Structure 1
Amino acid sequence: MRSHPLDPPNATEIALAVAAARADGRLGARTRFWGATLDEAHARRVVAGQATGTRLGLVALHAEAAWEVDVLVDGGEASCVDWRPIDPRRPGITSDEARAAAQACRASPLFRAALAKRGIHDVSLVMVDAESMGGFEPEKYKDRRVTWGTVWHRTTEDDNGYARPVQGVIPIIDMHTMEVLEVEDHGVVPVSDEAAPLKNKEQRPGLKPLDVVQPDGPSFTVDGWRVSWQGWTFRVGFTHREGLVLYDLEFLGRSVLKRAACNEMYVPYLDPNSTQYRKNFFDWASTAPVRSPTRSPWAATAWASSTTSTARTWAVPASRRRSGRPCACTKRTPASSGSTTTCAAGSTPCAAPAG
């Protein structure tokens, strides 16, 4: 049950939203949905008594087309309120697509032939991770939604395949048709003979028990999605793109942040090796969430994008504030010329961060 408009969408709301999108008639039977995101601006209006219901944003992908679909769920009913076409090459890779791409590789004669050159004949022990091209797609595939695969080999089903990379073999996969378009072979590199079993049958001897206990219970309290601890209060949320999100962070009743999240972590590997040079993960938007601490003063920066504009929300550190009060502003730059800056209610206008 939803206790606050900023709570993450629940299973019932997501099911109603997906059903409404399918019932609209624009989607085919093989449509995939890449996440359901709470419309936080609408949720804020609900908090202020200016709107009702829950508005969700879906990314729907079908064959050669894709849409962003906004659905309003209210009173147990759902209706589509907006459809926006997007580049069908843009949506990230879902977990089921990644598994299907790996299976397509294992079934490909081209892929099997490349493995056989390396003495690998049991493809059931071969792992393939579908990874984003990141701008390195071949020119001849520029109009396709393509990915490439990194290849790993296990000695047994319990082996850690990531200890045994198969260098030099690069399958290129069309993520719409699940067709292996080609397999690049950059030469045979010996695969390690060492196994790395994930299951240890024996524990290290001499270890004594370590107990972490709180006889009187934890120092924090949780009420639904709201957490209170040592004068701090905040609401917890999650999105499929960002993972953990914190809302309305306050200390002793004083607003500190309206929203905090790590929207993306970009990892350019910068390895010129023929197998590695494409690695430049957008770890959340492209595939799955990976989070790491950041030392940046803009650690609370949240980025959002659409086909027409880019929005940036920032929390400015004390050295950059115009007064002692925290500030939270959103700068929106449309695709057309001009820009506007708006600030959250009760916040102090901020100077935009350099760059």
Structure 2
Amino acid sequence: MNLSNKKILITGADGFIGSHLTEELVRRDCAVRPFVLYNSFNSWGWLDHMEPEILKSLDIFSGDIRDPHGVRQAMKGCDVVLHLAALIAIPYSYHSPDTYVDTNVKGTLNIVQAARELEVEKVVHTSTSEVYGTARFVPITEEHPLQGQSPYSASKIGADQIAMSFHTSFDTPVAVIRPFNTYGPRQSARAVIPTIITQLANGCRTLKLGALHPTRDFNYVADTVRGFIAAAEGDRAVGEVINIGSNYEISIGETARMIAEIMGMELETETDRVRLRPDKSEVERLWADNAKAKELLGWEPLYAGKEGLRRGLEETMRWFKNPENLKAYKAGIYNI
């Protein structure tokens, strides 16, 4: 599929990954309709910070993914839907799990139902590596069992299954991509890499962190964006679940040490118990097998391995070190 002559709806376009995806598609001369969460401030999230030339090309729709009528209205006239809107914070899912069902499960139902009725050409639904839970084998393939170790991951398992059920039941052209731990500029301080960077950039010398031993497969946001676009373009993605990951495993502790080294700072850490997940809820190990993405999409990470992670972290730090960007973050508190 050639996206240059398609109208593309991006849900969650006001967020971290969604804003980067919006920018890239505009640069590729695509017609983009960002779906942003309605609020009384008329804030468009990270879209508010875009270059004027990009912003004026956007057909912005304000609404709520939980409202089926608004979703259908937003989707009218669109050929492709990239569905990123979701509640993603794991600690907040312990606090308010009902909202995760409404947003992640029912919101996804609203998307695929409208796409079916309007005969949309392609829906790319966003999953997460958290649906795998702690790895039973590595690297993790798409055949790995799904384990809902938090209300968040359980809601995403439900959303994935709803999305794929519409492909199976109604032949709705759905593809599911499963990004592993995406990081980069604009990421929320609810994630570990911005937590580390913002604490150090604000002069903290003893970092307050949760568990340091779990491992993650970090994926730079530019690679994740390329994965979305490859899935939207690729005919072989329909009916498939596809990992988007770097195929490189590193612990949280080692990641923190790498960040401190790049920033030229000594690292001391302190375990903040409020940041620890319940024992059985902690995902101990994530490591992506990305062979399917290479085979079906022709996608592979440009920020691969230890050196790729280092380059991605350097680019991320340059963005966070800008005082205008850094002041948007509350580094002195635990962000759930």
Taking structure 1 as the reference length, what is the TM-score of the superposition?
A: 0.22
Taking structure 2 as the reference length, what is the TM-score of the superposition?
A: 0.23
Larger RCO, structure (CA 8 Å, separation 6 or more): 2
Q: Quick check: which one's strand share is greater?
A: 1
Q: Quick check: which one's helix share is greater?
A: 2
Q: Which has the larger radius of gyration?
A: 1
